[in-house]
Chains A and B, each alone.
Chain A
Amino acid sequence: MTKKILIVDDEPNIVISLEFLMKKEGFEVAVAVDGEEALAKVDSFRPDLVLLDVMMPKKSGFEVCEALRADPEKAGLLVVMLTAKGRETEVAKGLAIGADAYVTKPFSTKDLVVKVKGMLGTA
C-alpha cells in the first residue's frame, strides 16, 4: 500500500521541491501552508508521516506537533520537524514534545529520502 505524506511549510518554493521529491519516490502527497490547515489535513488525508516546518503563521510547528501528540488516535503518526533555525535548543524542544525526527534546513534530499523511508519501513 502506498504510504501517505503530508507536507507542511509556508514557503511555496520549499513545498514545490518537497512535493516533487516525495512524489518521485512513490508516496502519495498532500500539502498544507500553515498550522491550522495542517491539523485539518491530518484528519481528512490521514497521512502516515508529516513533514512539519517550525516557523509558520497561525500555528507554529511545535504547536501542531503538540496537538497531534495529545490525540491518542494519532499515536502511530510519524512527525519529522523541519527547521531553518539550527539551534540545539530548537532540536531538543522538537524531540521533547514528541517529534520522531528533526531535520535542519537546508537538507540533503538524499538523506531526507533515506530517513523518511527508513521510518516508514519501505526501504
Chain B
Amino acid sequence: MVLSGWFIALLSVAYLGLLFAVARFGDARADAGKSIISANVYALSLAVYCTSWTFYGSVGRATSGGLSFLTIYLGPTLMLLFVGVIIKMIRISKAQRITSIADFIASRYGKSQLLAGMVTIIAVIGVVPYIALQLKAMAASVDVLLEHSGRSGVWLGLDSTFLIAVILALFSILFGTRHLDATERHEGMVAAVAFESVVKLIAFMAVGLFVTYGMFGGLGDLFQRAAATADLGRLLQLDSSRAGTWTALIVLSGLAIVFLPRQFQIVVVENVDESHVKRAVWLFPLYLLLINIFVLPLALGGLLHFDGQGMNSDTFVLTLPLARGAESLALLAFIGGLSAATGMVIVETIALSTMVCNDLVMPWLLRSAWLQARHHQDLSGVLIGIRRVAIALIVLLGYIYFRAAGEAYALVGIGLISFAAVAQFAPAMFGGMYWKQGTRAGAVAGLSAGFVVWLYTLLLPSFAKSGWISSGFVEQGLFGIPWLKAQVLFGLGGMDEISHCLWWSMLANIGCYILVSLSSRPDAVEASQAERFVDVFRFDRRSAEARLWRGKASLGALVRLLERFLGAGRAQQQLALYARSRGVGDWHQLPVDAEFVHFAEAELAGAIGSASARVMVASVAEEEDLGLDEVLDILDEATQVRAYSRELETKQQALEAATSELREANERLREVDRMKDDFISTVTHELRTPLTSIRALSEMLHEDPRIDLTNRRRFLGIIVNETERLTRLINQILDMAKLESGQAEWTTGDVDIGAIARETMGSLEQLFCEKGVALEGDIPPTGPVVLADSDRLTQVLINLLSNAVKFVPAQTGRVHVRVGVDGNMVRVEVSDNGPGLTAEECDLIFEKFRQGGNTLTDKPQGTGLGLPISRQIIEYFGGKLWVESHPGEGANFIFTVPLPASEE
C-alpha cells in the first residue's frame, strides 16, 4: 500500500463525495415528502457531539487523566434524562420559528437584537478555536500517515491543513445553504451526519479491537500489564481528590450537549418529531458507551507499546495500527477521524453562519442605505450569499487561529474552554423557559457578567500560558492586586481552572440575571414572549395572538416583505399553505388581521431571525403600541381564564367522584335490598311448603268423611309433623333475626365445654340408637372452661350432632365428638363417616336456607338455618366454626372458642 499524499487526498475526497451523495439522497427524499429522518437517525446525528477532539483526544486524555475522560460522556447522558426540558425547548422553537440558540434567547427576551448579537459574538469567540482544533486534529492525522511513508504535507506551496479547511468550507456551503429558511430542516445534512456517526464508531471500534485482541491478549491481559506498571496502574484508579473536577466536567458537558451551537442545531432546530427525543435518551448514551469502551485499552496499549519513545498519545489511534503495518486499518481510522471533524465543522459553521447572518449582519443591513435603496429587490439570494461568506470566514478564522496557536496551550485546552463559554447561555435559557420574571436587562447583565468572568479566568490565562500576553494578571493579579489573580479569584484556590471558572462565572451570571431581572420591568413584547415561552404547552395561540397585536397593515406590503426575504416562489407556497389552513381558497382573499401579521412575522423569523423579523414587520405596518399594562392585562386575563377553567375542571372532577361514590352507595343499597328480597322470598317458600301439605290434607279430610281410617291416620300424622316443622322454622327465623340485629339475649358465665358436650350427647342418645348410629366421645374428665352462654353452646352442639346423624348411613354410621385445647382456643370437633362435602358445599352450607344433600333423593329434614345460626353464635364468642371435608370421606365440623386470658 502506498500512503501517498495524492492517495490520501483522493480517498478523502471520495469519502466526502459519498457523504454528499447521502445528503443529496436525504434532501431528495425530504422534498418528495418521504423523510428518512427516523428516531434512530436523529439519535445518531446527536453523535456530532463526538468530534475529532474526542476521536483522537480521548485517548490522549486517558493517558494522563485516566478515567476522567468519561465525564465528557456522563454529562450528556444525564442531560438527556431531562426529556421534558428538551421537548419544551423543541416545542417553543417550532412555535416561534427559532433558527438558532441566539435567536431563542433573543426571542424570549422581547426579540432583542442586542441579546442576539451578544450570544452570537460569545458563540463565535467560544467556538472558532474549537474549529481550529478540528483542523489541527486533521492536520496531525495527515502528518502521521505521510510521515509513515516519508512524504511531505505540502503541495503547490499550500499546506494540507489549508486544503482541508477549504474543502470543509465548500462542503458546509453545499450542505447547509441550499435552503434559506433555517427552521426548514437540513434533512440531507442530518442524514450525512448520522452516517458519519456510524463510520466513526466502526472505525474507532475496529482499531480498539485490533489493539486489544491483535496486539495484546485481550482486555484482561492489557489491564494486568498496566496494573503491573506503577505509572499506568494509577490511571485505572478513581482519584477521589478530583471529585470537584469531575462534577464541573459533568455539568459543563451536560450543558454543552444542548447549548453548543451545533448541538442546538441538531437537537432542537433539526428535530422533526418530538418523540424522537425519547429514542435518543437511551440510544445516544449507548453510542457514547460503545465509542468509549476501547479508549482506556488504546491509551494503555499505546503507553505499553511505545514505552519511552515519546510518541504523541493523541495519535495512538493511527500510530498503533501503523506500528504493526496495518495500513488499511490506519486509513479506516483516518476516515473515522475525518468523519468526526467534517461532521463537527459542517454543522457548527452552518449554525454559526445562521447566527452571524441573522443576528449580526441583518440588523446592520436593515439600517443601511444600501438596502433602503433596493426596496423591492428579492433579498433571499443576498441572504444565502451572506451565509456562504460567513461559513467561509468562520472556517478561515479557525484556520488562522490554528496557524497562530500551533502547539500552544490555547489550542490544546480549547475543548473545555468552549464548553465553559456556551455554558454561559444556560441561566438565560433555563430562566427564560421556566421563569416569567426573567427580563432582557437581567439576561444581558447575566450573560455579560458570565462572559467577562469566563474571559478573565479561562480564555485570557490560556493566551498567557501560550505566551501571547503577559501573565502578570494570572500570577500577581490585575494591577498587582492579589484578590484579582485570574485563576485564584478572591483567594479561591485549590481548584482546577475549569471548576474555578465555572464556579465564578455561574455565580456572576446567575446572580446578575436574577437580581437585575427582579429589579427591572419588562416591556410589552417581553412580557408576551415570556408568556409564550414559559406556558408553551397551554398558550392558546389563536385567541391570545389576536389580542396581542393591534394596528393596520396592507396585504400587499406584507406579501412584498415575504417575497423579498423568502423569494417569490417560496413566499407564494407558504401563503397558499396558510390560506388553506384558514379555509380560504385564494390567499389574495386573506383578511389582514392580527393572525395574518403573526404568520408573516413567523415566516420572516424563520429566514432572518425573530429580532430582525419584528423590525421588518413594524416597518411596514402601522402598529398601535400596546402599553405594558395592557399586555399584562391581556395575559392576566388569559391566565385567569386558564385558572378558572382549571378550577372548573377540578370541580367537575370532584363532582364526578361524588357521583360515582353515590352510584356505588346506591349499588350497595340495591344489593342489600335484593338480598333482603331474596331472603323474604326464600322464607315465604319455606313457610308455604309445609302449609301446602297441611291445607291440602286437611281440606280433603274435611270434605270427604269417607276416607278410610288408615289414610286418615297417615294424613293427620303428616299434618302434625308439618305443623312442627312450621313452628321450628318460625322459631329459627326469629332467632336468626335477633342474632343478626344484635338483640339476642345472652347469659354469659363460666362454662365447662366438656360437661356441655357430655350432656348434649346424653340427650341425643335416643335419636342415635333409633338409627343404629354409634356416638363416641373423646372428652377430658374436667373439660376446659370458657366464658360463654351454656344454652347457646348446647344449641350449637345439638345442631351439629343432629346434622351428623341425619347424613350418616343407618346401622354403619359413626359420629365422634372430640374436645381439646389448641393454643389459647378450645377446639371441639364433630366428625362423621357420612357422604362428605365438596369444597364448594363446605362454604355453601353456612349460607341461609342452603342445605346440604341436594343430591340425595329424599329431601333432608331441617330448615337450612341451623348452621348459619350456629356460626353466628360461635362468632359472637370470638371463635370460628367451619367444616373440613372431601366427598366420600365424611365431614369434620370444627369450632373454637377462646380461653379466658387468665387461663394462659
Contact = CB atoms under 8 A, between A and B. Distances in A.
Given A10-B859, A34-B857, A109 B700 contact: yes
Nearest to B699: A109
Contacts of A57: 854-855
A108 interface: yes
Contact of B692 (A12, A85, A106, A110): A106
Scoring B684, B693, B854 by chain A CB atoms within 10 A of each residue's CB, the highest score goes to B693
A16 B715 CA distance: 9
Contacts of B857: 33-34
Interface string A62-91: 000000000000000000000011110000
A11 B704 CA distance: 23
A18 B697 CA distance: 9
Scoring A12, A20, A21 by chain B CB atoms within 10 A of each residue's CB, the highest score goes to A20
A90 to B, nearest CB: 9
Contacts of B694: 106
Contacts of B686: 84
B476 interface: no
B693 A14 contact: yes
A105 B688 contact: yes
Scoring B695, B696, B722 by chain A CB atoms within 10 A of each residue's CB, the highest score goes to B696
A119 B859 CA distance: 31
B785 interface: no
Contact of B691 (A34, A106, A108): A106
Interface size class of A (residues with CB under 8 A): 20 to 34
B700 A21 contact: yes
A55 B685 contact: yes
Contacts of B684: 84-86
Contact of B693 (A11, A33, A55, A85): A11
B722 A13 contact: yes
A2 interface: no
Contacts of A84: 684-686, 688-689, 692
A109 B443 CA distance: 104
Nearest to B717: A13
B903 interface: no
B699 A110 contact: yes
B859 A109 contact: no
B854 to A, nearest CB: 5
B856 to A, nearest CB: 8
Interface string B753-788: 000000000000000000000000000000000000
Nearest to A54: B685
A54 B694 CA distance: 19
Contacts of A107: 692, 695-696
A17 interface: yes
B858 interface: yes
A61 B526 CA distance: 84
A45 B694 CA distance: 29
Interface string B658-699: 000000000000000000000001001110111111111101
A17 B681 contact: no
B711 interface: yes
Contacts of A109: 695-696, 699-700, 703
A24 B858 CA distance: 26
Contact of A20 (B711, B854, B855): B711
B704 A105 contact: no
A13 B688 contact: no
A40 to B, nearest CB: 14
B198 interface: no
A17 B700 contact: yes
B718 interface: yes
Contacts of A18: 696
A105 B700 contact: no
A46 to B, nearest CB: 24
A85 B718 contact: no
A17 B696 CA distance: 6
A14 B689 contact: yes
Scoring A10, A84, A87 by chain B CB atoms within 10 A of each residue's CB, the highest score goes to A84
B692 A11 contact: yes
B595 to A, nearest CB: 65
Contacts of A106: 688, 691-692, 694-696
A86 B854 CA distance: 23
Contacts of A13: 690, 693, 697, 718, 721-722
A16 B699 CA distance: 14
Contact of B700 (A20, A34, A104): A20
Contacts of A105: 688-689, 691-692
Nearest to A10: B859
6 contacts: A14-B696, A24-B700, A34-B857, A57-B855, A106-B692, A107-B695
Interface of A: 10-14, 16-18, 20-21, 24, 33-34, 55, 57, 84-87, 104-110
Q: Which 6 A-B pairs have the closest CB atoms?
A: A84-B688, A13-B693, A17-B696, A106-B695, A106-B692, A105-B692
Given A14-B689, A87-B681, A105-B689, 16 more contacts: A12-B859, A13-B721, A14-B692, A17-B693, A17-B696, A17-B697, A17-B718, A21-B700, A55-B685, A57-B854, A106-B691, A106-B694, A106-B695, A108-B699, A109-B696, A110-B699
